[in-house]
Chain A
Amino acid sequence: MSQYVPGLEGIVAAQTAISLVDGANGRLVYRGYVIADLAEQMSFEEVAHLLWYGRLPTRAELDALTLELAGSRALTPAAMTTLEALPKDTDPMDVLRSVVSVQGIEHRLEKPTIPLAVHATASFPTILASFHRRGQGLPPVKPRADLAHAANYLYMLNGKESSPELVRALNTYLVLLADHGMNASTFTARVIASTDSDLASCLVGAIGALKGPAHGGAPSQVMDQLEQIGAPENAEHWMREARTRKVRFMGFGHRVYRTYDPRARILKAMCERLNPTFYALASKVEETALAILHEEHPERPQATNVEFYSAGVLQAIGLPKEFFPPTFAVSRAAGWTAHVLEQVANNRLIRPQSEYIGPEPRKPVPLAERG
């Protein structure tokens, strides 16, 4: 038996050909392509095809996949009524977890397949947009089959088409976040898949993991922190003071990257164009945070992570902050499902060991003698 490694850091839990986080060189690679080469040129559909099939689609394949996704957007009647049963002020991540669970029921214990992955991925925006509208007292907007994934999500949220610029921004966000190695939610999906469970089960587990603030729950906290700081000129004072209270800076730190996160770089440039007010504050906060973190730990690398500038892009698109984490899930659904398919193709139950640190065996005292 090996030694206990907290957090399984450095322990190889899977072999994968889906994505590579090359932390040392600051590269994220999907199926051999560096993220910077995909981000602003590819549609989410093309990237989903790449993750699921292992290669970029031809025109005909892309048309077929686009059509299949568009045709799978409607919720089942049970999923729609479940969505309506949940209180309006429910955390959208809890809504997504519950309704994805219902949407997957019809597939029972079917072995995960690409068509099932397409079906599940297509439903995420419908769930979130319908719930968002419900919160505003508005009826859900029917999905449009003639719009691509990003454009249709915005259309269902707002009831009207968004500008090409915003659609492009959301599309780029969805491409950038679609996969990221053996992160905690993807790993959760693979552990669940390893028991021969179904795709919906893998996805609800992954959503539950993504919800955690140490994983996908961070972008909304980035927003909270920026709201508290308020203005660029407050950054230095607020942050130094916060540090004396051991407050963590949200949107900084990553276990894998040793250089600037390549996704953060692209999102940062997008923020500057799309959300100048956010950018003015955020770039100052970033500069200050990195300076303070460097003073404290000069040996550690620069560490702005993807959540930090995600917040500004998602805000520019018009999403309220509680919809940031579930929109992360809209993107990552492609990666989760791709990993489930890969796990299933060469499966072995993931069952690690634990080290017992409790008392040595002894006899229990019956209740009557326990006082």
Chain B
Amino acid sequence: MEVPEFSPGLEGVVAAETAVSEVDGANGRLIYSGGYLIEDLAKVASFEETAYLLWNGALPDKQQLETLRRQMAVARRLKDSARDALKCLEADTDPMDVLRTIVSAQGAAKAITKPTLDEAIALTAVVPTIVAAAYRRRQGTEPLEPREDVGHAANLLWMMEGREGSPERVHWLDTYLVLLADHGLNASTFTARVIASTGSDLTSCVVGAIAALKGPAHGGATYAARSMLDKIGTADNAEKWLREQHAQHARFPGFGHRVYRTYDPRAKILREMAREAAPELYKTAEHTEEIALQILHEAHPDRPNATNVDFWASVVLTGVGIPKELFTCLFATSRVAGWTAHVLESLADLRLIRPASVWKGPQPGSKPLPIASR
């Protein structure tokens, strides 16, 4: 048998067929289920409509949307066992570890079941409850009960702060959630599909995806981008700071993407929102972006412009009033719609994902020495 070539990171390898989303890197397009471009969808659809689209392949009508909103609203509460497990965790636990653990506890069941759409809806609905509880415990306050009379984004702000967010903040958050809901076969979505391929349950898939999203090279990048802006402080400090970092071969968080060869369409929308959502930080960010792209272009003139979604998401989330420790959790709040849609899609033609490896170890067959002779 011919030994296939090793492509590190599986770059360029097609690991799934999907109709959930398409990252058209060459043309800078992100297409969601149903064939909608992200910039068109972000203008007309709420997070709930987007989730419905990813799960069902079509946008809901009024009736269908109302049914979904109702179903999500009543699924926001934690089970008693998950609530008890939450109390076991130290208040200062990394919110992603809280999310990973409590999603696992919420989904803990007597017997394994096949993933269903109802489960996908319930899981998506409960994530903000856990995220808000993690936030409030860090603040030293008690978690709040979810509300059933407001939408997904509004309820998250309510559970975090105990008061209603302004319509603008709700809108910025909702748009963020729409933009991040899916993105082809990224590492966390791929993780969810690998786990699903063994016939495992939906909770296991989502817990694995959260675990992958936690990595700084994936979901942790929004936090890193915001931390960079914190260090830069003001626009006039950007050039000096970035040049120093670059001289030390440090990477700029929020720049670079394996797939896009043009400006990330989500970053473009977030950039516009950021101007309004966080005017002060926007000034620093805008100048930082300009200098960063200039430095990167000088260093690699052959590479395309590369501001990614994390950079501008970090500014918008700041404007929404989300502390940076929660950024990765917010990413998960959105992406859980995509993860579950991918898992449900994969069920139609389930096949165990079991790649090969190339042996780089010692020649097989040497006899192990007994311990006395080692």
* A residues in contact (CB < 8 Å) with B: 1-20, 22, 27, 29, 31-34, 37-38, 41-42, 46, 56-59, 62, 78, 81-82, 85-87, 89-91, 93-95, 97-98, 101-102, 104-105, 108-109, 181-185, 187-188, 191-192, 194-198, 200-202, 204-205, 207-217, 255-256, 348-367, 370-371
Contacts and interface: CB of A to CB of B under 8 A. Distances in A.
Contact of B109 (A91, A195, A201): A91
A214 B361 CA distance: 28
Interface of B: 1, 3-22, 24, 29, 31, 33-37, 40-41, 44-45, 49, 57, 59-62, 65, 81, 84-85, 87-90, 93-94, 97, 100-101, 104-105, 107-112, 184-188, 190-191, 194-201, 203-205, 207-208, 210-220, 258-259, 349-372, 374
**Residue in B7, B190, B357 whose Cβ sees the most chain A Cβ within 10 Å:** B357
B204 A97 contact: yes
Contacts, number: 412
A1 B34 CA distance: 23
A12 B3 contact: yes
A46 to B, nearest CB: 7
Contacts of A202: 211
A79 to B, nearest CB: 8
Given A105-B93, A192-B215, A363-B36, A12 B357 contact: yes
B354 A9 contact: yes
Given A349-B9, A353-B12, A371-B61, A29 B101 contact: no
Nearest to B35: A359
Contacts of B35: 358-362
A91 to B, nearest CB: 6
A-B pairs, top 4 by smallest CB distance, nearest first, are A195-B215, A212-B198, A208-B204, A201-B211
A11 B33 CA distance: 28
B211 A350 contact: no
A316 to B, nearest CB: 24
Nearest to B368: A33
A353 B185 contact: yes
Contact of B211 (A78, A204, A213): A204
B367 A37 contact: yes
A214 to B, nearest CB: 5
Contact of B359 (A17, A57, A98, A356): A17
Contacts of B366: 32-33
Given A11-B4, A56-B374, A94 B85 contact: no
A31 B364 CA distance: 8
A358 B13 contact: no
Contact of A205 (B41, B208, B218, B365): B208
**Residue in B18, B101, B184, B360 whose Cβ sees the most chain A Cβ within 10 Å:** B101
**Residue in B49, B108, B200, B366 whose Cβ sees the most chain A Cβ within 10 Å:** B200
A97 B104 CA distance: 7
Contacts of A29: 359, 361, 364-365
Contact of B364 (A4, A18, A32): A32
Given A204-B211, A209-B195, A59 B190 contact: no
B204 to A, nearest CB: 3
